Amino acid sequence: MEFTKSQRVFTELCKIIPGGVNSPFRGFNQVGGTPPIIVGGKGSQVYDLDGNAYLDLCCGWGPLLFGHAHPHIVEAVQKAAVKGTLFGASTEGELKLAEMVREAYPSMEMLRFVNSGAEAVASALRVARSVTRRPRIMKFEGCYHGHVEALDAAGQEAQEAGGPLALGASPGAAAETVIANFNDLQSVRELFQRYPQEIAAAILEPVTGSMGVIAPQPGFLEGVRDLCHQHGALFILDEVLTGFRLAKGGAQERFKIQADLTCLGKALSGGLAMGAYGGKAEYMRSVSPTGPIYQAGTYCGNPISVAGAIAELELAFQPGVYEHLEELSTKLVEGLKEIGGFLVQNVGSMFFIAFGPERVQNYQDSLGFDYPKFARFFHAMLQKGLYLPPSTTDAACISAVHTEEEIDRVLELTAQVMEKFDK
């Protein structure tokens, strides 16, 4: 494949935009090389400026449950845009969407729409601190919650980047964050014992997506929830990645658990900018204008994103969608395991490929990733027309519009790559 036009445009982008990207995930820092400049997508495919076509296994980093430019979503967005792109006032669509979200997530008795998953997380933390009158937040090493200062500036991964000041964050905000280990209940107990009456909430991804795709061990989520409640803290699940991707009710449905507060994003809106947070009504009534917690945003619940989200969930709520995704995912992952030569782990339609460890259950395990080897693998796959996330740590995804024939193609091309990989 040739990338001449992409290279030219990317070079110009780097002169104006840091790293040439508006989100660092899009850069190829981990794998090297120049990112292709994408000009369009349809269904399971994306196309770049040089005319190359790729089978998309990134799916916009997770949101595209029904692939690119699904006609039902496109039509809904177009109809909404004709009526007006922004009103700064409530619309009937917000009620319909809120009811759909609450149907899928019974734990979200009340909710509010925002513009991103990170915004949902930041808002949920404010709710937790306000209702408990406590300062500290417990996070889990390696769980990613977006560009939220108190969380992304704390922990080993932040220290490896130079600490809070190097990251441009407040050391005070980072100091109020305490760090537990994923899949390790004892670390949670010890933190509650060390900081009695200080921890407002524990927040975690029920399935991790940025240190590999790691499932919670049996009893882990329930154990964290129970410890939170024993110590008067809130139990927050960041379902920005898992919400509406792993099931209609996300990880909470899949693992039969409910959170005090839930954060959503990604697959909620079919590729438009949107997030949501919510939980028990007694907590959410503390949000302005009914309570003291000020959270606002001009574009929150805007009619374009709301229309796209309603259309997305109308598709997702159809019978058999998640069963179909499970069948495709099982076929893909079992086939990849048969090919061998790398680690593959998945939960539903989220999966990742890595070299080095035999399994990954927490952040410490992820430190064993062989990044140079993955970089070679990534570019070999890209040359075959398979677009993976340019990161061994981040979740890849498939969509409901991928076909069995396309899964067969992925397996065939991966086998070709691995046959020559170490030769």
Q: What is the pLDDT of residues 68-103, one digit of tens each?
A: 999 999 999 999 999 999 999 999 999 999 999 999
Say what the pLDDT of residue 423 is: 59
**20 φ/ψ sector (left φ>0, alpha ψ -120 to 50, else beta):** left
pLDDT tens profile 296-341: 999 999 999 999 999 999 999 999 999 999 999 999 999 999 999 9
Question: For residues 307 and 208, what is the distance between their CA atoms, to the nearest angstrom?
Answer: 29
**Residue 184 among the catalytic residues:** no
Residue of 48, 56, 152, 238 marked catalytic = 238
Q: Characterize 239-252 residue by residue with b for buried, 16 or more Cβ atoms within 10 angstroms of its Cβ, and e for exposed.
A: bbbbbbbbbbbbbb
Going along 81-221, which residue ranges are E strands?
110-114, 136-140, 177-180, 199-204
Region 50-57: mean pLDDT is 98
C-alpha pair distances (Å), 259 with each of 79, 328, 349: 35, 29, 22
Phi, psi of 193 (to 5 degrees): -70, -35
Assign domain 4-57+319-421 to its CATH architecture. Answer: Alpha-Beta Complex (3.90)
What's the chain's average pLDDT? 96
pLDDT tens profile 207-253: 999 999 999 999 999 999 999 999 999 999 999 999 999 999 999 99
**Residue 266 among the catalytic residues:** yes
pLDDT tens profile 331-361: 999 999 999 999 999 999 999 999 999 999 9
Region 176-184: mean pLDDT is 96
Domain extents for the chain?
A: 4-57+319-421, 71-316
Sign of the dihedral through C-alpha 140, 141, 144, 146? positive
Residue of 54, 105, 144, 277 marked catalytic = 144
* Both tokens assigned to 423: 């030769």
Fold match between domain 4-57+319-421 and domain 71-316:
no
pLDDT band with cut points at 50, 70 and 90 for residue 193: very high
Beta bridge partners of 350: 347, 397
**Neighbour count for residue 89 (Cβ, 10 Å):** 8
* Both tokens assigned to 77: 């967005």
Q: Using CB atoms within 10 A of its CB, is residue 14 exposed (0-12), middle (13-18) or buried (19+)?
A: middle
Report CA Rg, the chain.
21
Q: Is the pLDDT of residue 203 over 90?
A: yes
pLDDT tens profile 122-174: 999 999 999 999 999 999 999 999 988 888 888 877 887 788 888 888 888 88
Q: Which CATH class is domain 71-316?
A: alpha beta
* Both tokens assigned to 26: 């899009």
**Residue 260 among the catalytic residues:** no
Residue of 54, 266, 277, 322 marked catalytic = 266
**Neighbour count for residue 87 (Cβ, 10 Å):** 11
